[in-house]
């Protein structure tokens, strides 16, 4: 009771909270609910036909598969990059550290055409891969490369603060008790990082799932093979199939919200882990 | 004497042993650093360099000639317009939301924070789609809007709305944790010394939160100028009218006009680099103020 009256000393609560909820509703909640309400107008069999046709199922497979692969690679290399940035000194470290955020700052369309240029048949990397039968641009690997680029900062930025706060005493204790360096890392360090690693993975996966701009240029957009779900939504829209587009969007939205919930739980777990 | 000798001795030993036990051998360090840098070089540096290399492929003359195009000009103008509206809108929202959330306690606060973050979880394409469902010809307000001759979808207002949606959380999510950590003591002090609410906000809260605010604005602006998927759905791709810079890049690229596409892309790449530099500066400044 006393804390309530104390807090009301500061003015503006009603105004700012009212504006926050109004603006949130206007920009986010009402338009988002439009997607769900639109699908309520469909019969169940219409909905199933729209979200489970072979071409749509193939697009989920591409989206989820490539996102999973990209987030996994990012989990491994993100761990490595975070580890190197936190633990080892080397020249130009601050520039490298800043550069990690490039995928956040570089517009996705720019990333898309740049990656395509690098991995095309005559590109800087593509010219060495194609003779060996590895086709990156305009193939499934291209989707994976674009999604890896997009998700790169998430694992690094989630792990970095946790790595910085690791207590050196634990490592020293492990070493004193006779653990080898590798044992210390796998038994002492990695378990402490585990919640953060999973959070980073989930964030990169969620981002990759919805990504559009960087993928459309490099993937070649072949139905059943490299067509991602967000692209299929746009294709349906361009054919004025609003119901079909909305139905796929609702499936993807539900997947995103489940992931968001999972990420929130992971972050709570991570925080609790670290307080202990 | 003996005890001093042993303590010195043991100290020297721990000084040696500690780094050896908790640090990796030199060759491991070099190897891991090398692999990490190679990965970053391959995935980050190479594409960035490719933007400029492709833009300059036919020389500086061709590069600058790409900008001598009224459509490119109108795309730049539209991108700046969309950012000039959406960034201030989300800035005002971010400040209001963080004032309410950080300075007061109320029920449902964590739900509100989750809802504010929601646009980050939504695919850009779906962010555009939902506005089509509300304002498009077949949407909720479609018939009413066309009766009153108001165009939102396939016009500038739709582009601005979609941009506001995708950049919605940026300022709020930087400010909320910062202002929560700063607490309310200084504001109480100001109020009890006779300051008005506005004076407290301008003289106490805002100066304390300025680096977080600036940080959020930088990121918000970068996304606003670079957004592609959401804007692509609502724009209608009318050349010279509803094309932003990223959409103009797509059109040029699909017309095999690669030099011009990468020339426009190079402007956005420079923007990205400026964003990263400013971001690092703000982080450094914020660190300094915290250390004081």
ipTM: 0.91
Question: Do residues A210 and B123 lie in contact, with contact meaning Cβ atoms separated by under 8 Å?
Answer: yes
Average pLDDT, rounded, for chain A: 91
Does residue B10 carry a pLDDT above 60?
no
A242-A247-A249 Cα angle (round to 5): 95
Shortest distance between the Cα of B5 and any Cα of chain A, in A, equals: 22
Q: Tell me the average pLDDT across A189-193.
A: 88
Q: Which of B242, B251, B203, B244 is nearest to B223 (CA)?
A: B244
Contact B272 A102 (CB under 8 A): yes
Residues of B in contact with A249 (CB under 8 A): 123, 125-126, 129-130
CB under 8 Å to A228, separation ≥6 — which residues?
A59, A62, A63, A66, A143, A211, A212, A215, A219
- Contact residues, chain B, for A246 at CB < 8 Å: 129, 133
How would residue A268 be classed by pLDDT, with cut points 50, 70 and 90?
A: confident
Q: Which of A11, A81, A94 sits opposite B39 (nearest CB)?
A: A81
What tens digit of pLDDT does each residue of A211-223 get? 999 999 999 889 9
Residues A64-83 have a mean pLDDT of 97
Look at B279 and A101 and tell me if their CB atoms are within 8 Å.
yes
Instruction: Select from A6, A20, A267 the residue whose CB has the most chain B CBs within 10 Å, as the one to mutate to test that interface.
Output: A20
Inter-chain residue contact B187 with A10, CB threshold 8 Å:
yes
**pLDDT by residue (tens digit) across A11-33?**
999 999 999 999 999 999 999 99
Among the listed residues A147, A65, A43, A21, the one whose alpha carbon sits nearest the alpha carbon of residue B115: A21
Rounded to the nearest angstrom, the minimum Cα separation between B1 and chain A is 27
A20: left (phi over 0), alpha (psi -120 to 50) or beta: alpha
**What's the predicted TM-score (pTM) here?**
0.91
Distance CA A129, CA A132 (A): 5
Contact A230 B165 (CB under 8 A): no
- Best A117, A176, A181, A221 member to test B by mutation, with max B CBs in 10 Å, is A117
Measure in Å the smallest separation between the Cα of A144 and chain B Cα atoms: 12
pLDDT tens, residue by residue, B100-129? 999 999 999 999 999 999 999 999 999 999
pLDDT score of B20 more than 80? no
pLDDT band at B70 (very low <50, low <70, confident <90, very high): very high
Between CA B132 and CA B129 the distance in angstroms is 5
Q: What are the pLDDT digits (tens) for B78-87?
A: 999 999 999 9
**Which is more confident, B58 or A2?**
B58
Q: Tell me how crowded residue B16 is: count the other CB atoms within 10 A of its CB.
A: 10
Inter-chain contacts counted by CB atoms under 8 A, chains A and B: 281
| Chain A neighbors of B277, CB-CB under 8 A | 98
Domains with residue ranges and CATH for chain A: 8-40 (no CATH), 43-275 (1.10.3720.10)
Mean pLDDT over residues A4-11, rounded? 63
Report the pLDDT value the prediction gives residue B13, as an integer from 0 to 100. Answer: 40
Mean pLDDT score, B231-251: 92
Q: What is the mean pLDDT of residues B41-60?
A: 95
pLDDT band at A272 (very low <50, low <70, confident <90, very high): confident
Lowest mean pLDDT among A165-179, B154-168, B271-285: A165-179
Is A88–B197 a contact, with Cβ atoms under 8 angstroms apart? Answer: no
pLDDT tens, residue by residue, A111-140? 999 999 999 999 999 999 999 999 999 999
Quick one: tokens of A20?
């926050």
pLDDT in tens, B121-176: 999 999 999 999 999 988 899 999 999 999 999 999 999 999 999 999 999 999 99
By C-alpha distance, the chain A residue nearest B54 is A117
pLDDT at residue B21 in the model? 60
Q: Which of B93, B133, B277 sits opposite A23 (nearest CB)?
A: B93
Do residues B283 and A131 touch, judged by C-beta distance below 8 A? Answer: no
- Quick one: pLDDT at residue A6? 45
Predicted confidence (pLDDT) per residue in B176-186, tens digit: 999 999 989 99
Please give the pLDDT value at position A8: 63
- Taking the CA of residue A26 as centre, how many other CA atoms within 13 Å lie in the half-sphere pointing to its CB? 11
- In this complex, do A113 and B280 lie within 8 Å of one another by their Cβ atoms? no
Tell me what the pLDDT averaged over chain B comes to: 90
Contact B269 A110 (CB under 8 A): yes
């Amino acid at each position: 009771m006393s804390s309530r009256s104390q807090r009301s000393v500061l003015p503006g609560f009603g105004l700012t909270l009212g504006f926050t909820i109004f603006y949130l509703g206007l920009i986010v909640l009402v338009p988002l609910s439009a997607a769900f309400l639109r699908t309520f107008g469909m019969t169940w069999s219409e909905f199933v036909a729209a979200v489970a046709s072979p071409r749509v199922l193939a697009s989920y497979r591409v989206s989820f598969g490539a996102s999973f692969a990209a987030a996994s690679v990012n989990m491994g290399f993100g761990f490595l990059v975070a580890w190197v940035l936190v633990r080892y000194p080397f020249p130009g470290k601050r520039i490298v550290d800043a550069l990690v955020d490039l995928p956040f700052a570089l517009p996705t369309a720019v990333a898309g055409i740049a990656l395509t240029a690098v991995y095309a048949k005559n590109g800087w990397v593509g010219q060495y891969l194609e003779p060996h039968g590895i086709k990156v641009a305009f193939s499934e690997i291209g989707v994976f490369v674009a999604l890896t680029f997009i998700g790169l900062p998430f694992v690094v930025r989630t792990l970095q603060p946790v790595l910085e706060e690791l207590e050196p005493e634990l490592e020293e204790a492990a070493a004193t008790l006779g653990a080898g360096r590798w044992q210390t890392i796998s038994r002492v360090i990695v378990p402490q990082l585990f919640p953060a690693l999973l959070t980073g993975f989930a964030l990169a996966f969620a981002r990759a799932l919805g990504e559009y701009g960087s993928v459309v240029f490099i993937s070649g957009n072949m139905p059943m093979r490299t067509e991602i779900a967000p692209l299929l939504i746009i294709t349906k829209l361009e054919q004025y199939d609003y119901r079909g587009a909305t139905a796929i969007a609702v499936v993807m939205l539900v997947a995103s919200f489940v992931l968001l919930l999972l990420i929130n739980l992971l972050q709570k777990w991570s925080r609790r882990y670290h307080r202990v | 004497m003996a005890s001093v000798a042993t303590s010195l001795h043991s100290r020297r030993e721990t000084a040696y042993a500690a780094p050896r036990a908790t640090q990796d051998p030199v060759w491991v360090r070099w190897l891991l650093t090398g692999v990490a840098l190679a990965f970053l070089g391959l995935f980050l540096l190479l594409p960035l360099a490719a933007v400029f290399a492709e833009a300059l492929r036919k020389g500086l003359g061709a590069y600058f000639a790409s900008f001598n195009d009224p459509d490119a000009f109108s795309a730049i103008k539209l991108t700046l317009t969309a950012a000039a509206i959406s960034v201030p809108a989300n800035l005002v929202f971010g400040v209001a939301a963080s004032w309410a959330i950080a300075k007061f306690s109320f029920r449902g606060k964590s739900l509100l924070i989750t809802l504010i973050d929601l646009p980050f979880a939504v695919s850009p394409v779906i962010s555009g789609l939902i506005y089509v469902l509300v304002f498009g010809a077949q949407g909720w307000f479609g018939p009413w809007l066309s009766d009153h001759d108001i165009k939102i979808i396939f016009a500038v207002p739709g582009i601005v709305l979609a941009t506001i949606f995708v950049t919605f959380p940026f300022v709020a999510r930087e400010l909320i944790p910062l202002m929560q950590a700063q607490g309310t003591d200084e504001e109480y002090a100001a109020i009890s010394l006779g300051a008005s609410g506005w004076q407290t906000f301008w003289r106490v809260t805002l100066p304390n939160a300025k680096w977080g605010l600036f940080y959020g604005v930088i990121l918000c602006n970068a996304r606003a100028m670079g957004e592609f998927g959401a804007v692509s759905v609502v724009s209608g791709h009318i050349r010279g009218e509803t094309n932003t810079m990223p959409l103009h890049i797509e059109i040029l690229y699909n017309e095999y006009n690669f030099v011009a596409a990468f020339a426009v892309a190079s402007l956005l790449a420079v923007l990205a680099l400026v964003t990263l530099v400013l971001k690092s500066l703000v982080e450094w400044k914020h660190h300094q103020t915290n250390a004081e």
